[in-house]
Structure 1
Amino acid sequence: MEGRKAVICFFVLFLTVYFLEAIGGFYMTSAVVSIEKQFQIPSRMSGLMVSAGDFGYIPSVVFVSYLGGKGNRARWIGGGCLMIALANFLISMSNFLFPVESIRLNGSVVEQRIEIDSERLSDDTTAESFFEYISKSIAATNFTDMIEVELPANLRNISMKKFAQKKLDFCYPKNESMNICNRYYDYLREVKAPTASDIANIRILMGAPFAFCSRLVNSLRDQIEYLKCSKDPSNLGPFIMIFGGLLILGVGRTMPFSLGLPLIDDNVKRKNLPVYFAGMFFIRILGPVLGFMIGGITNRYYYSFEVPPGLSPRDPMWIGRWWAGFLGISVVMFGPSLALYLFPTPSKKKAVGETAELENGDGVKISLKAEMGVEQQPLQKAKPTHKRNRSLALVDRNVTRDKDGNTVVPKNFDEKVNDFISTVKTIIRAPVYTGALIGRILDVFAFKGFFIFLPKYLEVQFGLPQHVISFYMGIVGVSGFAMGVLIGSVAMRKFKLQGRKAAAFVAVCSTMAAILSFLNAAVGCKSVLSHLADYSVANNGLFNSTCNEGCNCDGMPLYPVCNQLGEVFYSPCQAGCPLDETLATDSPHKIFKKCVCSNTTDMLVSRDFCRESVCESKFVMYFINMAISGVFGGMGVIPAILIILRSVPPIDRSISLGFQGFLVSLFATLPSPVVWGWIVDSACIRWNNVCGDPIRGACSIYDTDRLRLRTHITYGIMRLVSLISDVWVFVFAKDLILIDEEPVRDENGKEEEMQEITSDCIVDKDRKFSM
């Protein structure tokens, strides 16, 4: 494969894997909430888990960029993307290797518990019928026991349910030592013996996402929880496996960015770089859009193929099929990654040219001796020669070569270490590079953790299901950023932004993005979960009241329901809704009846009665601000990248990007999710107790006002602090040339000599090593 075909084929493969890598990186954002719920992982642990990618990225990025920049960059990028495909596969496998065990009681245990409980009796069944039954076997009943249950004649017409709760409570749990209890059990078996259908319905309701005001069903739930805890459940296994997958992913993602950008820089004219970089970043931004859309699709389906009856995607306890996205990304990414790894290398003659002198990406000849540090000559424009078909440069065009065109690299370990240290010293002495690096660390620290927990915030604040949130984040939020990238590249090319103009442009864009973040701190809404949070705060974290005493509601799952007036209840149990076996169906539209705490005459509650539309306008306002903020944030991307690339000598581009990635990961992307997880958890007011230990569970209810203010004000302050670095870059970027001008020709059409351009913002290096 030669010439133009090789270039086109390579760029198609590179942009494909670059696109797929971006999908996987942002898909994790839409999956982290479901992972927390499935494995009961608190936000502080999930934040550490997400940071695993940086544990792999940090120790490898500098060395990969240094070694890869001197080798076949296509093979390095292809190898890295193969690692990413493997990582996504491992993450998806955690769902299958560590399934959430479903503990089921055997049929006899359930049947024995059902047959001695009065809850299943009809309201028309009176206590009189019980006395008539036991009078038939008075000889077998102890007289003292009879005295304990005797009632005045005028009270014998009350329902048997109430009578059993008040006068026969000593028969629970099963008490066979008293004759009256045994006669009571016999009475229940005769009047309401459980059928196979009854047992099946109770078993279904035991695993339902909602709970009744039912001592029978709730006690069976507690028994299941006890059996589950006796097996010492742990989220350590899936945590380690997902952590390991993300660790491998972190190593793999070092290569596409740190080696890909210099590769693009080598193979296109620099005057066209803003357009190429904009296209590259636009394709990469489409990755997150598709990632969020995939998240929106997978979150519509339950993580297991058996959906609990009555559970729907709009319920807080819904867990999306997150693992399917990782598995799909892994399969699709493997093919192009392998093709890129096996991409044929152009011949040396095609890659280097037939002269002893080398040409950079703009046809500028560079003396080998000057590149070697033996002699520093002013750059001169190459004299016009015959037109040649330049081949694809998989190896850096600016790398030092010998007279045969071979890449010159240090021979032994000591020389490699000395050359590496010399290179690092060179780039950190560049004030523009240092200032831009500090600003990027602050921006990424603010953005990474905030963006990871943004889906959870939106679910809590506006009461929307995860699949809707993923859709809006992809279409509105990321698309605004993509539009900003295109606008920024066009502005840079049209207005020829160089030096301080470009630095000022980046500073203005960052300021506007920070201001809009502050504005979103004022966009809140009282969703269903917000009302529950307010009730919890007003009642010291308790949801029980006198009307649901004896319902055994403690520890029951969150399933918000509302009455016809919009009043919110934690679950049907807290609303005082009795057992109703007719609700053991797959219909998501369930109406609970005879709820004594509903405060309405019809005594009905339902999820459908909750007024969720009240937050729609605020949600739209939030995303309008978010989209505009994304536009301003995207506008500064291309100028910022070019400032980084042009602030160091051309030969050090890969290592400068790798060193930037190292420090950004170490001080920003690694600690950011952990810190933001702690900020999010600090607003929690009710935890899911896992085997009596709230530390091991996820948060179910947040103080939404506290969460909104803490997250957005913290984010805005961090972005404003980063503006100090933008001022630093502006001061030192006076002579920085980001886009090379077209060559100046004389009247005969010949190119005039190009004068050497010097700048205080770039530090020349002088390092030598043996050939």
Structure 2
Amino acid sequence: MAENEKRIKTHRIRCLSKMKMFLLAITCAFVSKTLSGSYMNSMLTQIERQFNIPTSLVGFINGSFEIGNLLLIIFVSYFGTKLHRPILIGVGCVVMGLGCFLQSLPHFLMERLSSYIWWFLVIYTYLRERNNTSYLELLCIYEYESTVSVSGNLSSNSFLCMENGTQIIRPTEDPSECVKEVKSLMWMYVLVGNIIRGIGETPIMPLGISYIEDFAKSENSPLYIGFVETGAIIGPLFGLSLASFCANVYVDTGSVNTDDLTITPTDTRWVGAWWFGFLICAGVNALTAIPFFFLPKWLPKEGLKSNADIIKNDKEEKQREEVKKKKDGITKVAGITTTYNGMQQDLYMENAILADCNRDCNCPTKTWDPVCGNNGVSYMSACLAGCETSVGAGINMVFQNCSCIQTSGNSSAVLGLCDKGHDCSMMLQYFLILSAVGSFIYSLSAIPGYMVLLRCIKPEEKSLGVGLHTFCTRVFAGIPAPIYFGALVDSTCLHWGTLKCGESGACRIYDSANFRYIYLGLPAALRGLSYIPAFLILNILKNRHLPGENASSGTMLTEAKTTKKESECKDMDQNSKVLNDNELKTKL
């Protein structure tokens, strides 16, 4: 008896420790997957600028994660319970790490291609007897559009307002004179890497949640799933912090002299080191996978009262396995959002970039190289501001004698857009506070929703149920949302960047008012519509009970009837026995 109790106690300790180990591992997996997901979402703007692609294409790249997840979610959810679930989750984490690594490859491939391209152009220009300046067009280092000389040599001020001068830095309009950039299709690596990351994420949620629900106590599973969902909240905090750090590091740091840069991280042409964070995400996902390869396929149910129950549960699981093998301020820009006189104008008015103050300056009208005048108005370039001289070099350059800047004193400008003011930063803080409160309220329904989903289906179909739920989420929300959101965001663009071939690049400035209506209004409308089917379902189910409740009540009723019948039978037997004894006595 003592040995039996000791064995039960030891088995319980071993079971609990393995369950807690799995709980810790799956929580870390949720942290790592949401870390890489939030980092990817935060780097979309950097990727858009790096490859000069529109927001609609960036939305498609973002939605490719859902496409990859969609390819296997039903298959993994259905067959996952028949296989080794922890190992499948570990493999998924490794695949996610591979996808993150693939997303960082364009940066390294572009650097390697630069050396090959240089030799190719040397031979090519020698045979064609052309100038080797086309090397700069194909060099895979990130080049932002700029009219400003960064060398500090002010002997040539061709980027300033020069009457009757010629501008040699206009974008090439003739396609025959333009060579397509090699890096233009490098975004395909980011797309494929995101698809692979989505494939790797497939087994984590359905198999992890079902594993907990199968082997944890009924009263403990909501708490365990709550821990897992907490990991899904912590992950984005690390991801956003990592994104903030990488966004402030120049993309080609180590390859270029950052002292020569004429832009800062607040500039719309700035591209941060987006590739560095993907390497960190790849390592984190790979490390997260290790514990899953040491966890068992099955665990005894928590809270079994006797060794016999444990043995019986193990036998039932083995038999079952054998049988079933079969986001109001608009940056105050002249010619786009305001006139050169400081008057507000239609945001989409055409041919308003040139004015009397700069019409004779022979300025490029498509190049985005903004400066901020001391009158608080931003201009597309120092030339369009009518500036004639400059002092200083790099980011500290100051432009003077600007004919379009109307002030009482010396008219001057500095590089970059003008600040939006204190009111804008305060509104951002209010927005973040309200977003945090709204997210907290919205998250309160997560665990009850999971428990209703899990308790309404058979135990062997829990993984499939979670998989179908995820499948529907991907199909109706995850995949289409980034695409149509990106297209709507593109519709609010006020000025597009220009590539060397004269093609449109990434957007440089948006209409903040319309952007706000789309970013906040569309999700509010969609979420409001979602309450309609929710109320309908609640109205249908309000008088119904869960299957478990019906089964338990039915079982109690059956047991009560059986007990009553047994007692009646016993009474009848006793009465018949008494009658037989009396008859026997009478005969004697």
Mark yes or no: TM-score above 0.5.
yes
Equivalent positions of 1:436-455 (< 5 A) are 454=327
Aligned to 2:372: 562
Q: SS of 1:605's equivalent?
A: strand
Q: Could you say if the C-alpha distance between residues 229 and 94 of structure 1 is closer, same or farther in structure 2, counting changes exceeding 3 Å?
A: farther
Cα deviation, residue 629, structure 1 = 1.5
CA contact (8 A) 2:171 2:502 kept: no
CA contact (8 A) 1:37 1:317 kept: yes
Distance 2:165 2:247 in 1: 29
CA contact (8 A) 1:38 1:319 kept: yes
Kindly provide the CA deviation profile for residues 598-656 of structure 1, in whole angstroms up to 9, marking residues without a partner as x.
Answer: 11231112248645323112222222322222122111111122222222222211001
Aligned to 1:727: 535
Aligned to 2:585: none
Distance 2:241 2:517 in 1: 28
CA contact (8 A) 2:332 2:376 kept: no
Aligned to 1:525: 329
CA contact (8 A) 2:99 2:194 kept: yes
Aligned to 1:584: 393
| RMSD over aligned Cα atoms | 4.1
Equivalent positions of 1:734-749 (< 5 A) are 734=542, 735-737=544-546
CA contact (8 A) 1:564 1:609 kept: no
1:324 matched to 2:276? The reply is yes
The code of the aligned residue for 1:323 comes to: W
Distance 1:739 1:317 in 2: 59
CA contact (8 A) 1:229 1:691 kept: no
Aligned to 2:296: 345
Equivalent positions of 1:421-460 (< 5 A) are 454=327
Equivalent of 2:425 in 609, 616, 623: 616
Q: Could you say if the C-alpha distance between residues 672 and 27 of structure 1 is closer, same or farther in structure 2, counting changes exceeding 3 Å?
A: same
Aligned to 1:499: none
1:594 matched to 2:404? The reply is no
Distance 1:332 1:722 in 2: 36
Q: SS of 2:203's equivalent?
A: helix
Distance 2:82 2:334 in 1: 56
Q: Which runs of 5+ in 2 are unaligned?
A: 1-12, 123-129, 134-148, 340-344, 560-588
1:311 matched to 2:263? The reply is yes
Cα deviation, residue 109, structure 1 = 8.4
Equivalent of 1:628 in 416, 419, 437: 437
1:69 matched to 2:17? The reply is no
Cα deviation, residue 387, structure 1 = 8.9
Distance 2:529 2:177 in 1: 47
Aligned to 2:495: 686
Q: Could you say if the C-alpha distance between residues 592 and 272 of structure 1 is closer, same or farther in structure 2, counting changes exceeding 3 Å?
A: same
CA contact (8 A) 1:3 1:389 kept: no
Distance 1:215 1:32 in 2: 41
Cα deviation, residue 754, structure 1 = 5.7
The code of the aligned residue for 1:87 comes to: G
Cα deviation, residue 250, structure 1 = 1.1
Q: Could you say if the C-alpha distance between residues 244 and 399 of structure 1 is closer, same or farther in structure 2, counting changes exceeding 3 Å?
A: farther
Cα deviation, residue 217, structure 1 = 10
Q: SS of 2:361's equivalent?
A: coil
1:18 matched to 2:21? The reply is no
The code of the aligned residue for 1:701 comes to: I
The code of the aligned residue for 1:661 comes to: T
Q: SS of 1:547's equivalent?
A: coil
Cα deviation, residue 214, structure 1 = 5.3
When structure 1 is superposed on structure 2, of 12-21 and 674-683 the one drifting more is 12-21
Q: Could you say if the C-alpha distance between residues 295 and 199 of structure 1 is closer, same or farther in structure 2, counting changes exceeding 3 Å?
A: closer
Equivalent of 1:716 in 496, 501, 524: 524
If the length of structure 1 is used for normalisation, what is the TM-score? 0.59
CA contact (8 A) 2:385 2:404 kept: yes
Aligned to 2:137: none
Aligned to 1:649: 458
Distance 1:38 1:577 in 2: 29
1:37 matched to 2:49? The reply is yes
1:639 matched to 2:448? The reply is yes
Distance 2:547 2:242 in 1: 37
Cα deviation, residue 549, structure 1 = 2.4
Aligned to 1:409: 324
Equivalenced residue count is 507
1:268 matched to 2:216? The reply is yes
Distance 2:241 2:557 in 1: 51
Q: Could you say if the C-alpha distance between residues 558 and 651 of structure 1 is closer, same or farther in structure 2, counting changes exceeding 3 Å?
A: same
Aligned to 1:380: none
If the length of structure 2 is used for normalisation, what is the TM-score? 0.76
Cα deviation, residue 321, structure 1 = 1.1
Kindly provide the CA deviation profile for residues 643-701 of structure 1, in whole angstroms up to 9, marking residues without a partner as x.
Answer: 2222222221100111122222122211111111111111123222335655x422222
Aligned to 1:369: none
Equivalent of 2:230 in 268, 282, 286: 282
Aligned to 1:201: 152
Q: Which runs of 5+ in 1 are unaligned?
A: 112-197, 353-359, 364-383, 392-396, 412-453, 455-523, 745-752, 758-771
The code of the aligned residue for 1:714 comes to: L
Q: Could you say if the C-alpha distance between residues 283 and 658 of structure 1 is closer, same or farther in structure 2, counting changes exceeding 3 Å?
A: same
Distance 1:17 1:214 in 2: 60
Distance 2:315 2:114 in 1: 57
Q: SS of 1:69's equivalent?
A: helix
Equivalent positions of 1:143-542 (< 5 A) are 200-202=151-153, 212-213=160-161, 219-222=167-170, 230-233=178-181, 237-305=185-253, 306=256, 307=258, 308-340=260-292, 342-345=293-296, 351=299, 385=306, 401=317, 403=319, 406-411=321-326, 454=327, 524-528=328-332, 532-535=336-339, 537=346, 539-540=349-350, 542=352
CA contact (8 A) 1:595 1:604 kept: yes
Q: Could you say if the C-alpha distance between residues 297 and 215 of structure 1 is closer, same or farther in structure 2, counting changes exceeding 3 Å?
A: farther
The code of the aligned residue for 2:330 comes to: K
Q: SS of 1:329's equivalent?
A: helix
Q: Could you say if the C-alpha distance between residues 608 and 219 of structure 1 is closer, same or farther in structure 2, counting changes exceeding 3 Å?
A: closer
Distance 2:191 2:323 in 1: 39
The code of the aligned residue for 2:235 comes to: G
Q: SS of 1:724's equivalent?
A: helix
Q: Could you say if the C-alpha distance between residues 336 and 330 of structure 1 is closer, same or farther in structure 2, counting changes exceeding 3 Å?
A: same
Cα deviation, residue 402, structure 1 = 5.6
Distance 1:200 1:530 in 2: 28
Aligned to 1:604: 412
Q: SS of 1:565's equivalent?
A: coil
Kindly provide the CA deviation profile for residues 367-411 of structure 1, in whole angstroms up to 9, marking residues without a partner as x.
Answer: xxxxxxxxxxxxxxxxx64598899xxxxx8998564x6443253
Q: SS of 2:220's equivalent?
A: helix
When structure 1 is superposed on structure 2, of 294-303 and 530-539 the one drifting more is 530-539
Distance 2:228 2:510 in 1: 40
Equivalent positions of 1:102-181 (< 5 A) are none
Aligned to 1:769: none
Distance 2:238 2:163 in 1: 47
Q: Could you say if the C-alpha distance between residues 530 and 738 of structure 1 is closer, same or farther in structure 2, counting changes exceeding 3 Å?
A: farther
The percent identity for this pair of structures is: 23
Q: SS of 2:227's equivalent?
A: helix
Distance 2:334 2:93 in 1: 43
Distance 2:540 2:270 in 1: 53
Cα deviation, residue 80, structure 1 = 0.6
CA contact (8 A) 2:167 2:364 kept: no
CA contact (8 A) 1:569 1:575 kept: yes
CA contact (8 A) 2:29 2:93 kept: yes
Q: Could you say if the C-alpha distance between residues 610 and 713 of structure 1 is closer, same or farther in structure 2, counting changes exceeding 3 Å?
A: closer
Q: Could you say if the C-alpha distance between residues 41 and 409 of structure 1 is closer, same or farther in structure 2, counting changes exceeding 3 Å?
A: same
CA contact (8 A) 1:316 1:558 kept: no
Aligned to 1:86: 98
